[in-house]
């Protein structure tokens, strides 16, 4: 076999140029051709599993946490506290009670110093295992079936908002849902992002850089609009509106939003005709974090 480097064919050269381009400039296979197997995989449920006591907690912190579960239930104490220094403990009766109880159980019997105990309490606060304005510990949150079902729900539906009808699947109404959301947010298990006038919820391990994109892609009209421009960059708005049976002003509005997020860009081809191209690198980056909608089939032509 010859060891000479084979010359690039025109087709391979075109493919290489496309791979180096940020925006889509070629044809693709339609979205409908995604296999059922792939669809089932992308729609499979994700179950949140977290160790009740993680490796981030020392033995002392675990023992302090057990005592904290008892102290936090004492309703004669206000649960509001801020732990900055050992000298300020007396300002917060509930922490003072926890500190005294820990000294009695852990200092005299197990040899931990007062400073060790204080640092353990502060560490649990910093790691959100005990949280101000809550009578629960993170361990109890992770053992609560209702709260965990909501956490799993947010994991499966990132970007969801409180008025989404899918919340009915949890068997609760909007008001208790929001109450549980506040609890999970206090413990840094979920976070909320206000986009427009609406709060959208994500698990805390999801980076926030793509929040706006996740929310816009929740709109079922957006993927088909993008698909049209993959098929034909010069397709006009009226044609998209006719194909989707949507008012053209609505299509124009969504295209404007897509441009603002740098998903679409208007430019001109060699003949001077206006076209819209799609930012393929952004779609790839999006699918590294979120699996729905799945743009991999659109990008397969690259």
DSSP string, 177-205: HHHHHHHHHHTTSEEEEEETTEEEEEETT
pLDDT digits (tens, 9 = 90+) for 133-166: 899 999 999 999 999 999 999 999 999 999 999 9
The helix or strand, by DSSP H or E, that contains position 264, with its residue range, turns out to be: strand 264-268
CATH class of the region 207-302? mainly alpha
Distance of CA 229 to the CA centre of its chain: 28
CA angle, 219 then 221 then 226, to 5°:
110
234-273 burial code (b ≥16 CB/10 A, e <16): ebebeebbeeeeeeeeebeebbeebeeeebbeeeeeeeee
CATH fold match for the domains 144-205 and 207-302? yes
178 vs 224: CA distance, rounded Å: 32
d(C-alpha 259, C-alpha 225), whole Å:
12
Tokens of 149: 């079902």
> In this predicted structure, what is the pLDDT of residue 259?
94
Sole residue written with tokens 């801020």: 82
| pLDDT given at position 55 | 65
Whole-angstrom distance, CA of residue 127 vs CA of residue 214: 28
* Nearest residue to 228 via CA among 20, 27, 14, 21: 27
Are the C-beta atoms of residues 246 and 232 closer than 8 Å to each other? no
For residue 300, give the nearest of 289, 287, 77 by alpha carbon.
287
Tell me which fold the domain 144-205 belongs to: Arc Repressor Mutant, subunit A (1.10.10)
Q: Where are the domains of the chain?
A: 59-133, 144-205, 207-302
Element (H, E) at 273: none
Cα separation, 131 vs 92, whole angstroms: 13
**8 Å CB contact between 241 and 247:** yes
What's the DSSP call for residue 263?
S
* 48 vs 153: CA distance, rounded Å: 9
Return d(Cα 277, Cα 164) in angstroms, integer. 32
pLDDT of the chain, 302 residues: tens digit per residue = 443 444 555 555 555 544 445 555 444 444 444 344 344 444 444 444 445 555 679 999 999 999 999 999 998 888 888 888 888 888 899 999 999 999 999 987 788 999 999 999 999 999 999 998 899 999 999 999 999 999 999 999 999 999 999 999 999 999 999 999 999 999 999 999 999 889 999 999 998 899 999 999 999 999 999 999 988 888 999 999 999 999 999 999 999 999 999 999 998 888 888 889 999 899 999 999 998 899 887 777 54
User: Whole-model pTM?
Assistant: 0.73
How confident is the model at residue 80, as a pLDDT?
87
| Structure token digits, residue 208 | 């926030």
How much is the pLDDT for 130?
94
Residue 146: enclosing H or E segment and its boundaries? helix 145-156
Rounded distance, CA 137 to CA 142, Å?
9
Look at residue 52 in the predicted model and tell me its pLDDT.
53
């Amino acid at each position: 076999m010859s060891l000479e480097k084979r010359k690039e064919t025109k087709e391979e050269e075109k493919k290489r140029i496309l791979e180096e381009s940020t925006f889509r400039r070629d044809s693709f296979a339609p979205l409908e051709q995604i296999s059922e197997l792939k669809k089932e995989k992308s729609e499979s449920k994700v179950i949140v599993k977290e160790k009740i006591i993680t490796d981030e907690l020392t033995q002392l912190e675990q023992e302090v946490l057990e005592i904290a579960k008892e102290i936090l239930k004492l309703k004669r104490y206000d649960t509001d506290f801020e732990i900055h220094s050992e000298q300020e403990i007396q300002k917060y009766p509930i922490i003072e009670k926890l500190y005294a109880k820990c000294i009695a159980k852990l200092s005299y019997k197990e040899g931990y110093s007062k400073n060790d105990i204080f640092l353990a309490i502060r560490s649990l606060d910093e790691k959100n295992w005990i949280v101000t304005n809550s009578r629960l510990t993170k361990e109890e949150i992770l053992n609560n079936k209702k709260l965990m079902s909501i956490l799993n729900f947010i994991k499966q539906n990132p970007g969801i908002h409180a008025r989404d009808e899918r919340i009915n699947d949890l068997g609760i109404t909007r008001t208790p849902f929001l109450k549980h959301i506040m609890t999970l947010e206090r413990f840094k298990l979920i976070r909320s992002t206000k986009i427009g006038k609406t709060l959208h919820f994500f698990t805390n391990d999801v980076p926030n850089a793509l929040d706006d994109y996740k929310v816009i892609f929740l709109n079922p009209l957006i993927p088909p609009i993008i698909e049209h421009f993959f098929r034909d960059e010069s397709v006009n708005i009226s044609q998209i509106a006719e194909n989707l049976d949507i008012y053209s002003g609505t299509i124009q509005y969504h295209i404007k939003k897509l441009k603002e997020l740098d998903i679409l860009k208007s430019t001109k081809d060699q003949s001077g005709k206006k076209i819209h191209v799609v930012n393929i690198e952004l779609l790839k980056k999006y699918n590294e974090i979120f699996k729905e909608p799945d743009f991999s089939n659109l990008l397969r032509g690259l």
